[in-house]
């Protein structure tokens, strides 16, 4: 690479998954490469012949945001201090670029940038039109429909919390009020008193559930992640058939496989132990499916570069692959926690000291009319943990559903 015909600029590279890396973009007469800070090998590299489109958003002065889209749909977004110079250099050496007529505004902007003048960026409106072909009335109708759907979805949760705070006289009032007139925590206090009267302490049920949920979820994450990595990035005989079997297993509910699972656990001698819940959680097909589909979009070049640098397969999996598929395994954690936390395990765990919190609270729910308030409080406790985990990681879940990962 000739230093005379080389243009450099410091800035950041943003990948499709949202991750940003500080470094330097270097371009010459044949192509360009981005070097992350402290790295000698380029993180992204291409020749001009591979380019399909290049966009430039002027930030003012010589700083720009440059988006490079290659013919294989790979996309790189750069925020560069000397973006104008790099954009002009790449545009000059990009021989087969699409013909685009310059407008009067483009010419004036280029002149202002060459003179170092600040370019005024149009102010963003409070409400932006994402679909210009739809009228404002159409937008209002859509937002009203979304509001109605949101109210319908949040109403059960509000009613559940309100019921747990109602005194007994309001619980049996008709028509039932959505929110109590005189909120009280007596239902929760009575619930803990009732749980404290059991010969097995309430804390024991809680510890059992936490242990099963944490160990089962972690094991599911590791097993599903390693299996998905092999299926997504390595070719071996029977790989496609194995994934087909996993996909087929998604069709069956837990009730269908209940008897075969019980027979297997009975032969292994793990009935009436924690492992009767933990081991089946390791093999849940939903986690393997999500992880495998997301890992297929991970650039193989990252894995090959790490292998060349001497990293073992497990090091590549744990240090490179897993951080880049974080949205997928966060989604998988949600499903796993929900399944394990809400499992009462009444058919495979018989010892009272080993039973779960949901089972103990379910016994209170069966206590009749006198325990209606305690039942409402118990329901709030049961649904609280899965809901809180979902709220804190919902953005990652949506990213998993909307994206297949970064592309090579």
Residue 74 to residue 65: CA distance in whole angstroms: 17
pLDDT of 243 reads 86
- 129, pLDDT greater than 80: no
Region 281-288 average pLDDT: 87
Residue 195 to residue 375: CA distance in whole angstroms: 12
- 302, pLDDT greater than 60: yes
The secondary structure of residue 16, as a DSSP letter, is T
Domains of the chain (ranges plus CATH)? 7-114 (2.30.29.30), 186-402 (1.10.3720.10)
Highest mean pLDDT (candidates 129-138, 380-389, 392-401): 380-389
- 378, pLDDT greater than 50: yes
- 362, pLDDT greater than 70: yes
Region 212-241 average pLDDT: 89
Q: Which residues partner with 57 through β-bridges? A: 65
**Residues sharing a CB contact under 8 Å with residue 292, sequence separation 6 or more, in sequence order:** 227, 228, 231, 232, 243
pLDDT higher for 207 or 116? 207
Residue ranges of the alpha helices (H) in 182-252?
186-196, 202-233, 239-249
Query: At CB < 8 A and 24+ separation, what contacts does 109-115 make?
Result: 109/58, 113/58, 113/61, 113/62, 113/84
pLDDT of 126 reads 57
Which band of pLDDT confidence, cut at 50, 70 and 90, is reported for residue 407?
very low
pLDDT of 214 reads 92
pLDDT of 370 reads 67
Region 67-75 average pLDDT: 85
> In this prediction, what percent of the chain has a pLDDT beyond 90?
8
pLDDT of 104 reads 65
Determine whether 165 is exposed, middle or buried from the number of CB atoms within 10 Å of its CB (0-12, 13-18, 19+): buried
pLDDT of 144 reads 93
- 357, pLDDT greater than 90: no
- 107, pLDDT greater than 60: yes
The helix (run of H) or strand (run of E) holding residue 12 is strand 7-14
pLDDT of 145 reads 94
Comparing CA positions, the residue from 92, 78, 77 lying closest to residue 28 is 92
Three-state secondary-structure class, residue 390 = helix
Region 369-380 average pLDDT: 78
CB of 358 closer than 8 Å to CB of 382: yes
The pTM for the full model equals 0.57
Which band of pLDDT confidence, cut at 50, 70 and 90, is reported for residue 405?
very low
51 phi, psi to nearest 5 deg: -75, 140
pLDDT of 1 reads 46
Give one DSSP letter per residue of 232-264, joined into a string: HH---TTHHHHHHHHHHHTTS-TTTTHHHHHHH
Q: What proportions of the chain, in percent to the nearest 5, are helix, strand and coil?
A: 55, 10, 35
Q: Which two tokens stand for residue 334?
A: 């949600």
- 15, pLDDT greater than 70: yes
Comparing CA positions, the residue from 392, 405, 299, 408 lying closest to residue 18 is 405
Region 215-235 average pLDDT: 90
pLDDT of 149 reads 93
Report pLDDT digits (tens) over 28-68.
888 899 999 888 888 889 888 888 888 888 766 678 888 88
Residue 303 to residue 316: CA distance in whole angstroms: 7
Mean pLDDT rounded to a whole number for the chain: 81
Rg for the chain, CA atoms, rounded = 29
pLDDT of 406 reads 45
Residue 276 to residue 208: CA distance in whole angstroms: 13
- Residue 154: C-alpha distances to residues 28, 133, 144, 380 (Å): 56, 32, 15, 14
> In this prediction, what percent of the chain has a pLDDT beyond 70?
85
pLDDT of 215 reads 93
CB of 169 closer than 8 Å to CB of 188: no
Which band of pLDDT confidence, cut at 50, 70 and 90, is reported for residue 387?
confident
Region 273-301 average pLDDT: 86
pLDDT higher for 234 or 363? 234
């Amino acid at each position: 690479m000739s230093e005379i015909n080389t243009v450099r600029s410091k800035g950041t590279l943003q990948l499709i998954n949202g991750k940003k890396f500080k470094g330097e973009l270097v371009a010459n007469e044949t192509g360009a490469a981005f070097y992350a800070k402290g790295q000698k090998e380029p993180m992204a590299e291409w020749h001009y012949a591979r380019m399909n489109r290049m966009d430039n958003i002027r930030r003012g002065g010589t700083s720009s945001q440059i988006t490079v889209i290659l013919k294989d749909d790979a996309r790189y977004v750069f925020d560069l201090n000397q973006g104008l110079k790099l954009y002009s250099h790449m545009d000059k050496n990009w021989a087969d670029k699409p013909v685009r007529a310059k407008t009067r505004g483009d010419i004036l902007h280029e002149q202002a940038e060459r003179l170092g003048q600040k370019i005024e960026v149009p102010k963003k409106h409070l409400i932006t039109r994402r679909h210009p072909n739809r009228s404002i009335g159409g937008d209002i109708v859509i937002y009203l429909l979304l509001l109605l759907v949101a109210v319908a979805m949040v109403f059960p949760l509000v009613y559940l919390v309100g019921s747990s705070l109602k005194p007994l006289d309001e619980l049996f009032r008709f028509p039932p009020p959505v929110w109590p007139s005189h909120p009280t925590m007596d239902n929760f206090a009575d619930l803990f008193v009732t749980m404290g009267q059991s010969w097995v302490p309430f804390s024991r049920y809680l510890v059992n559930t936490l242990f099963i949920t944490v160990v089962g979820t972690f094991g599911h994450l590791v097993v599903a992640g390693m299996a998905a990595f092999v299926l997504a990035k390595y070719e071996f005989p029977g790989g496609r058939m194995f994934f087909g079997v996993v996909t087929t297993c998604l069709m069956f509910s837990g009730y269908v496989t209940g008897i075969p699972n019980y027979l297997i656990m009975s032969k292994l001698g793990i009935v009436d132990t924690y492992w009767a819940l933990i081991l089946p959680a390791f093999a849940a097909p939903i986690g393997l499916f999500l992880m495998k589909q997301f890992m297929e979009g991970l650039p193989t070049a990252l894995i090959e570069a790490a292998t060349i640098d001497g990293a073992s397969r497990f090091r590549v999996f744990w240090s490179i692959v897993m951080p880049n598929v974080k949205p997928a395994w966060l989604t998988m954690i949600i499903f796993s926690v929900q399944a394990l936390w809400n499992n009462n395990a009444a058919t495979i765990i018989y010892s009272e000291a080993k039973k779960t919190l949901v089972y103990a609270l379910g016994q209170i729910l069966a206590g009749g009319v006198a325990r209606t308030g305690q039942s409402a409080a118990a329901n709030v406790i049961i649904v609280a943990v899965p809901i809180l985990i979902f709220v804190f990681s919902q953005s990652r879940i949506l990213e998993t559903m909307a994206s297949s990962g970064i592309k090579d």
